[in-house]
Structure 1
Amino acid sequence: MTVAIITDSAADLAKDMTHTYGIEVIPLRVYEEETEYTDGGTLQPEQLLQRMREGAVYKTSLPAYEATYAAFASCAEKGAPCVYLAFSSELSGTYQSSLLVKEDVLEQYPDFELHIVDTKCASLGQGLVVLEAAKLAANGASAGEIAERAAVTARQMEHIFTVADLQYLVRGGRISKVAGFVGGLLNIKPVLHVEDGKLVPLEKLRGRKKVLQRILELVEERGTNIAAQTIGISHGDDLESAEELRHMLAERFGCQTFVIHTIGAAVGAHAGPGTLALFFLNERK
């Protein structure tokens, strides 16, 4: 039986893509005051980002226990081996929670084969790992082979991004207040990356043009065989900037295959409007 691929909504994959590849997505939860939403379900990213521009404050939480249990148990009932590719454990309790759910599911279905991978990735960095896993599953790879390959790909995934206002990340506890202090001053734009699953500021630049040029330099420094890769670009309701970055990458490196999508509500609640993120592989890692 084909291996089932499950992820969570932090992977920021478009619904038509998850449908095409048969990927099940467990939604994280997003809160506006006392109102609970599901990422990509009862709350769409465009709604969240617009409300954030108007001053709304959001918090996020890991997926509901019942949702994760139902996803795992459904595969167990069918006798389908499964690989779950989780949001970075350094940014969410989603991975740890899934391990507890796995224990409960195995009590009822002791022969169920379930591999859980902490991707240490986020947004389309996680999404690209999930897509590769789904393609391996479609080609008949075993659950163990898929989990092993996904772990390698996740370690090699580079996340380079900039945000319009660091205060969103500071407020959500994702980076320190010191790093966030200069976010809105004098048109200073931060460039950040992910290091062992954590968000880490790299440098501060003045002006959007310099940020985009620096992102290209980082691709050249870190990327391997860039032209042959599938490149991920996610954005905070700023498709124009995402398309500009796509064009720059195609022109400079010859990249042809891209996955471009808005950040989801769970990621967007922390990154905020105007986020622009790039994902590619560094095989030297």
Structure 2
Amino acid sequence: MRIAWVTDSTAYIEDLSVCKENDVFVVPMNILFGEKEYKDGIDLSPEDLFEKLKEEKVEVKTSQPSIGTFKELYEKLGGSYDHIFSIHVSSHFSGTMSSAYQAAELLSDTVPSITCIDSKTLTYPLTELIEYGQTLHKKGASIEEIKESIEEKIKTRELYVMVGSLEQLHKSGRMNGLSFFLGSVLNIKPILSIEDGKLEVKEKVRSINKGLSNMSKLLGDALQRKVIKKVSILHGLNHDEALEWINELKINYPDIEFGAYPLGAVIDVHAGANTIGISWTDEHEKA
């Protein structure tokens, strides 16, 4: 059985050129600079994004791919694959999941073998779900077993992020005016968590070092109740800062595999270039 894996450009894909070889198909999100529209990951990189933010004083927005875009892709894949898994950024962050689901519904008679899954997360943790599903497929798991296992994996995900720019978070509508004002005046940096796909304020700190320290402690606390083999450090353009943090974490947790992964342009629009976060899942084996 051939399975196609469809996702959106909030997922971390290191090399887009090899996606099709791995049966992965990425639908780009849209980034709007005033009247100009760019395709995320195709027309605009995170570096390009922040250069344009400096140069062009226009409103920047993001938007989901259209239902038609998904419908066209599903129809194309339906002729070559036995099943399509379409896994996307949390539905609480974007309408992308809604577009994917509606397209699948429209094709229920002609391309019935489409499974849409709300990842309830973003960036590299979303990519990990696809890799996990592909591993299960190689081991001979059925479509239903893959779906159920991915949904169980989603429930064990923890993700914490320290926002790099309150101003961008405010402009994007993710923070109200009073919170933005108080945070700016008091130099507060919120640490956000993703709870069932929704952003929640976990803590408020006054410095980057304090934020990194607190998120490191959250990892330590999680290790008391979970088996964690891999930890992802998520970052904006502050790649060096992410690597420094990984080196510090390795001292305390030498048995864990750490990796640094960029958040991508769409997430950076909302969170800022200096955003940094940490994420893991529970690797307990089922009995």
TM-score by length of 2: 0.88
Q: CA deviation at 1:58?
A: 1.6
Q: Is the 8 A contact 1:49 1:237 kept in 2?
A: no
Partner of 1:71: 73
- Structure 2 matches for 1:75-154, cutoff 5 A? 75-109=77-111, 112-154=112-154
Partner Cα distance (2:154, 2:17) in 1: 19
Aligned residue type for 2:126? Q
Cα shift at 1:119 = 1.3
CA RMSD for the aligned pairs?
Answer: 2.2
1:263-274 to structure 2, matched below 5 A, reads 263-274=263-274
1:62-117: CA deviation from partner (whole Å, max 9, x where unpaired): 113333123322221124211111111111111111111002222333xx311111
Letter in 2 for 1:39: D
Partner in structure 1 of residue 215 of structure 2? 215
**Aligned residues of 1:69 and 1:101 also touching (Cα < 8 A):** yes
The whole-number CA distance in structure 2 between the counterparts of 1:261 and 1:213 is: 19
Structure 2 CA distance for partners of 1:215 and 1:67, relative to 1, 3 Å: same
What is the rounded CA distance, in whole Å, between the counterparts of 2:53 and 2:202 in structure 1?
25
In the aligned structure 2, how far is the partner of 1:18 from the partner of 1:215?
Answer: 34
Kept after mapping to 1: 8 A contact 2:233/2:278: yes
The answer for unaligned runs of 5 or more in structure 2 is none
SS in 2 for 1:225: coil
- Comparing 113-122 with 56-65, greater Cα deviation is found at 56-65
Scaled by the length of structure 1, the TM-score of the pair is 0.89
8 Å Cα contact 1:187-1:206 kept in structure 2: yes
Contact 2:4–2:81 at 8 Å: present in 1 too? no
Is the CA contact 1:165–1:183 (under 8 Å) kept in the aligned structure 2?
Answer: no
- Which of structures 1 and 2 has the larger relative contact order (alpha carbons within 8 angstroms, sep 6+)? 1
Deviation at 1:179, TM superposition (A): 3.3
In 2, the alpha carbon distance for the partners of 1:104 and 1:280 equals: 35
In the alignment, structure 1 segments of 5+ residues that lack a partner are none
Map 1:42-57 → 2, pairs under 5 A: 42-54=43-55, 55=57, 57=59
Deviation at residue 18 of structure 1 after TM alignment = 6.4
Q: Work out the CA distance in 2 between the residues paired with 1:185 and 1:124.
A: 33
Percent identity, aligned pairs only, is: 28
